[in-house]
C-alpha cells in the first residue's frame, strides 16, 4: 500500500502513526532535510489519542510533542537502524557523545 507525503495528511499525528503502522520505538527520518546531510531523526516514545511524544534519538533526554504533519517522514530502514544503534552503543561505552564518530 502506497502512502502519500506525511505533510499532506490533515488528521492528527497519532492517527497518522496508526495508519502507517508506526509504534513506540519506531525511528523516523525526515525525507528532505532542511539542513543538508543532517536529516532529523525521531524516536517515537508515546502515541496518545491525538498527540505523539518523540525525541531526537541522539538527544534522548529532550522528549516533546511532535506534529508529524509539518514535514515528510519515513521509517528508517534496517541498515539505518543498525547504524544508529551502533552509534548509540558507542555513546554508552564512552559516556561522551563528542568522542563518537557520526
Higher-pLDDT residue of 27, 34: 27
Whole-number pLDDT of residue 26: 92
Q: What is the CATH number of the domain that holds 36?
A: 2.30.30
Q: What is the domain range of residue 30?
A: 6-76
Taking Cα atoms as reference points, which of 26, 23, 11 lies closest to residue 68? 11
Within a domain: residue 102? no
Within a domain: residue 98? no
CB 75 within 8 Å of CB 27: yes
Within a domain: residue 67? yes
Question: What percent of the chain has pLDDT above 70?
Answer: 70
Within a domain: residue 37? yes
CB 73 within 8 Å of CB 13: no
Q: Give the residue-averaged pLDDT of 6-22.
A: 88
Within a domain: residue 57? yes
Within a domain: residue 33? yes
Within a domain: residue 68? yes
Tell me how many domains the chain contains. 1
19 falls in which pLDDT band (50, 70, 90)? very high
Look at residue 23 and tell me whether its pLDDT is greater than 70: yes
For residue 55, the surrounding DSSP H or E stretch is strand 52-55
Within a domain: residue 83? no
Look at residue 5 and tell me whether its pLDDT is greater than 60: yes
Amino acid at each position: 500500500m502506497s502512502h502519500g507525503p506525511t505533510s499532506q495528511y490533515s488528521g492528527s499525528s497519532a492517527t497518522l502513526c496508526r495508519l502507517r503502522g508506526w509504534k513506540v520505538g519506531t525511528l523516523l527520518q525526515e525525507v528532505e532535510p532542511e539542513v543538508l546531510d543532517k536529516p532529523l531523526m525521531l524516536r517515537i516514545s508515546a502515541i496518545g489519542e491525538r498527540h505523539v511524544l518523540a525525541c531526537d534519538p541522539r538527544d534522548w533526554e529532550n522528549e516533546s510533542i511532535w506534529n508529524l504533519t509539518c514535514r515528510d517522514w519515513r521509517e528508517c530502514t534496517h541498515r539505518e537502524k543498525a547504524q544508529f544503534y551502533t552509534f548509540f552503543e558507542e555513546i554508552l561505552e564512552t559516556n561522551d557523545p563528542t568522542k563518537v564518530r557520526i
